Chains A and B, each alone.
Chain A
Amino acid sequence: MTSPESSPALSKGRSLTRTVSSKTIFSNVMTGLVVTCAILALIPLVALLYYVITKGIVRISPQLFTQLPPPPFPRDHPQFNSGGFGNAVVGTFMTVGIASLISIPFGILASIYLSEFARDTKLANAINFLTNVLSGVPSIVMGVFAYGLIVVKTRSYSAVAAGVAIAVLMLPTIVRTSTEALESVPNNLRQASVGLGASSYQTVLRVILPAAIPAIITGIILAIARAAGETAPVLFTALFNNFWNWDPWRPTATLAVLVYNYAITPFANWQELAWAAALVLVTMVLVANILARWIVRRR
């Protein structure tokens, strides 16, 4: 223990001017190392963006979103640049929409239960553990699950089946981010609300949820952005469709599967479409991230 009287003695006689010592050299070297590593970590991201943008940008035009995929054409064919993947854009929104309809209500209700009604109970701990396990399950397993549960039963690939697979994929992210958001609402707001005579559900609806909603929305946006690009769970649940499809119970095209299907063909116009679809997916993820940051920042 240093008593207050002894501390001036310790600092007595120390100079305030900067001296070049082994300590400063070490600290400069470390700073340099950290900066280098940070730049190295950025390289893959920049390279990926550069590659996807340069390859994909050639085909970006409004018709991408309004037309159907063309037949394969050779490079010198007059219609080489025709066609788009409007059906896959619609299909992606459809599957992700179905997935959101399932996973958002379930996820938020589950996290309300976990944070407000069962906090620190054995059951809550068990659910948290299972949620973590679920978030580590490979996404192809979600696909198999939805295949067995819906595709086999209904005898058809469908947007619904893909939606279920993606919903299971999104669920752990939504539960975890929402639970964190709700738990970070300060306890004194709960006490204020209960102290004014609010019942527990009134407290949740009128105080806790409004205070946590920006963080919850952020988590949901990021979950959706990640899910929209997932290929494995939609590959053999939604399958693909070369035509417009508005029926959620029929095979549906998605951007992720379009990239997968077209990139491995030998046809140049299909390959270009695959790059363009990849660019659209990356842009969606980017926009979602910016949106999420903006919501957080606005608080």
Chain B
Amino acid sequence: MTTNLQTSTKTNTDVVFRTENVNIYYGDFKAVRDVNIEVPRHAITAFIGPSGCGKSTVLRCFNRLNDLIKSFHLDGKILYHGQDLYASDIDAVEVRRQIGMVFQQPNPFPKTIYDNIAFGPRLLGYKGDMDELVENSLRGAAMWDDVKDKLKALGTDLSGGQQQRLCIARAIAVQPEVLLMDEPCAALDPISTLKIEDLMQELKEKYTLVIVTHNMQQASRASDFTAFFNVQANEKGQRTGYIEEHDRTEVIFQSPKQKATQEYVSGRFG
């Protein structure tokens, strides 16, 4: 089961995810249709678009977090280095260990900072020097200097921005290949937001990042590729999301091919 995935990651391709005609449903409701995109390696791909168009839904399919929702199902294929993530022999738990997730609301565990970081590695039965791993992860999330003297303090007692960076540190402690971030700066002030954006630039050296953002400047500043999601109501009034345009970020923001994209990125939407 898990060995499939392990060996496939060794054959590193430059395309991390490729989706083929993915339609995503919650029960009878088709939430997103016809997703065909490629997510390149060591780059930041941003998902933008109006609320309810299915950005989070698609993002959560990349590490099978939607499995937690009973009514969820999809058709089409999501290929991770060529391997279908939804094939029956794939272990979803193993997928999530390689494809980490940072959520919109910072969600540290009510444990110490140290235990928050060590949580993932302990799950994996990490045998090495945990202190070192914790330090490296915190350095990786640019917060070692903030917290090095209070590793035994509760993660939930940190400020919102620090909590979010703690969550990033926690996610990179298991050394995933991909980091998915769903509006990681939505709950943060502008300064913490900039810190996290800087951090993303550093992280892309080692990881592949997919971020959802409502912040146009953030998408244009921080990302290399941008997918613009739009939403269309069918005759029954169901609002189904789809990808209107997906290209290099400069193209999306400066010379988009679609009129809707042009209107959205320039703030004249709807």
The answer to whether B167 touches A192 (Cβ under 8 A) is: yes
CB distance from B123 to the nearest CB of A (A): 5
B120 beta carbon closer than 8 Å to chain A: yes
Q: Convert A191-204 into 0s and 1s, putting 1 for each residue whose CB lies closer than 8 angstroms to a CB of B.
A: 11111111100100
**A196 interface neighbour in B68, B111, B170, Cβ under 8 Å:** B170
B97 neighbours in A (Cβ, 8 Å): 196-197
Decide: A195 and B96 in contact? CB cutoff 8 A: yes
Q: Is A226 an interface residue (CB 8 A)?
A: no
> Interface code B137-178, partner A: CB below 8 Å = 1, 0 otherwise?
000000000000000000000000000000100110010000
The answer for the CA separation of A202 and B94 in the assembled complex, in Å, is 13
Q: Which residues of the other chain, A, contact B101 by a CB distance below 8 angstroms? A: 191, 195
Cβ-defined contact, B65 with A197, below 8 A: no
Q: Mark A129-168, 1 if CB is under 8 A from B, else 0.
A: 0000000000000000000000000000000000000000
On whether the beta carbons of B120 and A196 are closer than 8 Å, the reply is yes
Q: B163-206 CB contact bits vs A (8 Å, 1 = yes)? A: 00001001100100000000000000000000000000000000
Measured in the bound complex, the distance between the Cα atoms of B60 and A195 in whole Å is 10
Interface residues of B in 49-104 (CB under 8 A from A): 63, 65, 68, 93-94, 96-97, 100-101, 103
Closest to B173 in A: A196
Q: CB-CB < 8 A to B105: which residues of A? A: 188
Q: Which of B103, B108, B124, B174 is the one whose CB lies under 8 Å from A191? A: B103
* B68:A192 contact, CB within 8 angstroms: no
List residues of chain B with CB within 8 A of the CB of A193: 109, 119
B107 within 8 A of A: yes
Contact at B65–A206, with CB atoms within 8 Å?
no
Q: Does A263 reach chain B (CB closer than 8 Å)? A: no
Given A191-B65, A207-B109, verify A196-B103 contact (CB < 8 Å).
Answer: no
Contact check: which of A189, A194, A199, A202 meets B109 at CB < 8 Å? Answer: A189
Please report which residues of chain A, range 192-241, place their CB below 8 angstroms from some CB of chain B when the two chains form the complex. Answer: 192-199, 202, 206-207, 210-211
Q: List A residues at the B interface (Cβ < 8 Å).
A: 186, 188-199, 202, 206-207, 210-211
New A-B pairs, 16, CB < 8 Å, besides A190-B68, A192-B103, A195-B171? A188-B103, A188-B105, A189-B107, A191-B65, A192-B170, A193-B109, A193-B119, A194-B65, A194-B96, A195-B101, A196-B96, A196-B119, A196-B171, A197-B94, A198-B123, A207-B109
